[in-house]
Structure formats: C-alpha cells, structure tokens
Amino acid sequence: MTPMNPTEEFGHDSDYVLTDSFDRQVRYLRLSVTDRCNLRCTYCMAENMTFLPKSKVLSLEEMTLVGKAFVELGVEKIRLTGGEPLVRNGIVELAQQLGKLDGLRELVMTSNGVLLDKFAQPLRDAGMSRINISIDSLKEDRFKALTRFGNLGDVMRGIDAACNAGFDKIKLNAVVLKGTNDDEVVDLVQFAVDKGLDISFIEEMPLGEIDGHIRSETAIESRSIREQIEDRFGLEASDNHDRAGGPSKYMRIANSSSRVGFISPMSDNFCASCNRVRVTAEGLLLLCLGNEHSLDLREIIRNQPASLKQAIVDSMQRKPERHYFDPKDITITRHMSATGG
Ligand code: SAM
Ligand code: SF4
C-alpha cells in the first residue's frame, strides 16, 4: 500500500478526482461484501429477510476490481462491511488482494465479532490495520434478545482474539435504543476502558421497516448518552478527523487511553464533511446513506468494464448534499444490512 497520484490518468486540475458538486472529496469507500448475517439485530434486520441470490452478488474478483478502481481514483481507505463480512467465503483472500493495492492507506472492517476468534489473525496478516466490533449489550440474555439468537460469549472471544492479533486500533460500536440498552452506556464505556479500546455510540437511523420495532420510540440522542458518560468518567477534547476519517466525533475519556465517539446522524448532521460512498454486495454504488442516488457498477463491470472509472468519476456529480432522516417517516426501505454499515 503506497501513495500515488490519482489525478494523473484523468488530468483534472483539482487535487483529487472524486470531488462532488459540493466540493467534497471522496477518499473513503465502504464495501459491503454480503447482505447476509449470522445475527438478526432487531434494529437492523427484519426477522425474515430475503437475501440476494448468488448470481446477483459481486464475485471476489469483481469486488477487487471495484476496490482497485476507487483506489486509482484517490480513495485511501476501504472498509469491508455487510451484512456480516466474516460470513462471506473468501473474505481473507479478498482482504489480501485489496491489501496489495498501491495507494490504499487503510484497509479496515466492521464486524459483529462472532467469527473473529477464527479470522482476526488471518485478517491482520492480510494487511488489515483496524477493526470495529459491534456490541450493544454486555448482558447475555439481553444480547440474545437484541440479536434475536446471538451468543455474547462468541463476541467476547472475538474481541480477545482481535486484541491479541496486533491491530493498530480496535473500536467497539454500540447502537443505543431507549428502553432496551440505554442503561448500559456506562458499563459499555467501562468495558472499553478496561480493554484499552475506543468505543463509539451510534444514533439509530430509520433505514428499513421492521415489524414490531417502532424507531421513533427507541430513538435516543447522542447528547444524553454523552451526559451519562461525562457524569461518570469525565471527558476531554480529542483530535477528531483525519481526511479519510469517518463520522465519529471523539472525546478522550479522562485518565484513560480510550476515546469515546459519537455518531449522530439524527441530531447533529455531519453531511457537510462527508468523504465517503458505499458499494453494496450487488454492486450498487450508493452516493449517500440516506438517499437513493446510485449507479449500477455490476452492470458496468460485466458489460463495459473499460468505462468503470469514468462512470464512477461522473457519478460524483449526483452525490446529494445531505440526508433528511425522520424516524417517523421511513422513506429509505433498504435495511442497514443491505446498505453496508
Ligand atoms: N455486521 C457487522 C456489524 O454489525 O458490525 C457490520 C454491518 S452493520 C450493518 C454495521 C453497523 O451498523 C453496526 O455497528 C450496527 O450496529 C449498525 N447499524 C445497523 N442498523 C442500524 C441502524 N438502523 N441505525 C444505526 N446503526 C445501525
Ligand atoms: Fe448483522 Fe450487523 Fe445487522 Fe446485526 S447490525 S443484523 S450483526 S449486519
């Protein structure tokens, strides 16, 4: 992974090729490697989901082509996600291929941790530098209910395996839902501090309808989570964004090496600094998490591969300015698992 000049081939005057019409530079790709998952988190997926047939999912070779095209266009960071990325056959081989790309500075992943016990070391060896692990509860029964059937012990073993694998950074992610796990904020932070890890709290987004789950009733703002943490631990200012960074706003937890991040798509719109796009497992380039603007990369790869990079460059002009999420009005029918979180 070495730096390159992404503007050479396209000869643009601007510093970077992937610049949208609001002058934002896209340097970060979230690549969903599958829409399938070994859990069914109640806020993410419906109980009975219809998954993509294999023929519609990009092959590993096609995913490598997509990653290569974006890196040649100036993307510096790729996050593998899903669904659960570790249920995709060949995930380590994909990481190895992407890890070799000249110009890519960071290859990272978001995982639910269930299979990390097996995969943490091979991923690290493949060149993955950082990993985010989602964990919404430290109580076994509650974890099972939240994920519909998950086993907390598997995730704990996954976290330990990641800690032993030598990643540059490991971050925990938690979605807090009012009346479900909002009493565990302090415990989750303490867990992160004890392990020497960072932790981010994510506001629930209204992506997809889920029977029996009313998003407007579970929504909780980062501000109230932050107050709980501030009261118990004390928070100090911290460095926030690097240029290929994500949407988390970080604070340092007093007297510890851990940071706590707040991802607040509902209460503190961060679209003005958006530097990322997503590609779904079926090859749909989503220009914004909260809008439907997209480009079918699978069709291009399979029928006119020579035009892939130019098509990506052109699509930037259609990246919307911002999302308008409303938990009472779910206009985006895609679930997060199909979007690539
Ligand atoms: N399966 C992996 C995992 O859970 O980490 C990766 C994919 S998951 C879709 C990525 C992240 O999105 C997880 O941290 C999850 O908690 C979060 N997520 C899922 N649905 C969400 C929603 N509706 N609003 C906010 N975050 C959500
Ligand atoms: Fe699976 Fe991740 Fe969605 Fe949970 S949040 S159902 S682990 S994709």
Ligand lying nearest the CA atom of residue 210: 1
Report the C-alpha gap between 299 and 287 in whole angstroms: 17
Q: Which of 37, 202, 263 to mutate to test the pocket of ligand 1 (most atoms within 8 A of CB)?
A: 202
Which residues are CB-neighbours of 97 under 8 A, at least 6 positions away?
A: 60, 64, 67
Report the C-alpha gap between 134 and 129 in whole angstroms: 17
For 102, counting Cβ atoms within 10 Å of its Cβ (0-12 exposed, 13-18 middle, 19+ buried), the class is: exposed
Tens of each residue's pLDDT in the chain, 341 residues? 544 455 555 544 345 689 999 999 999 999 999 999 999 999 999 888 899 999 999 999 999 999 999 999 999 999 999 999 999 999 999 999 999 999 999 999 999 999 999 999 999 999 999 999 999 999 999 999 999 999 999 999 999 999 999 999 999 999 999 999 999 999 999 999 999 999 999 999 888 788 888 888 888 999 999 999 999 999 998 876 556 677 889 999 999 999 999 988 878 777 888 889 999 999 999 998 877 788 999 999 999 999 999 999 999 999 887 777 766 666 667 777 777 77
What pLDDT sits at residue 167? 97
**Amino acid of residue 44:** C
Q: Which of 84, 133, 172 to mutate to test the pocket of ligand 2 (most atoms within 8 A of CB)?
A: 84
What pLDDT sits at residue 11? 43
Tokens of residue 214, six digits? 């009313």
Centre a 10 Å sphere on the Cβ of residue 264 and count the other Cβ atoms it contains.
Answer: 20
Pairing of β 235-237 and β 249-253: antiparallel
Ligand 2 center from residue 193 Cα (angstroms)? 24
**Nearest 5°: phi and psi at 316?**
-60, -30
C-alpha distances out from residue 165 to 128, 192, 227, 296, 328, Å:
11, 17, 34, 36, 42
Residues with CB under 6 A from ligand 2: 37, 39-41, 44-45, 82-84, 112, 134, 336-337
Ligand 1 center from residue 310 Cα (angstroms)? 31
For tokens 């669904």, name the residue. 83
**Residue 83: half-sphere exposure toward Cβ, Cα within 13 Å:** 24
Helix intervals (H) in 56-115: 60-72, 91-99
Which residues are CB-neighbours of 2 under 8 A, at least 6 positions away?
A: 102, 103
What pLDDT sits at residue 41? 96
Domains of the chain, earliest start first: 18-339 (3.20.20.70)
- Say what the pTM is: 0.93
Ligand 1 center from residue 45 Cα (angstroms)? 9
**Amino acid of residue 317:** Q
C-alpha distances out from residue 111 to 71, 138, 308, Å:
22, 17, 29
What pLDDT sits at residue 15? 53
Report the C-alpha gap between 71 and 63 in whole angstroms: 12
Report the C-alpha gap between 6 and 181 in whole angstroms: 44
For tokens 């990009």, name the residue. 58
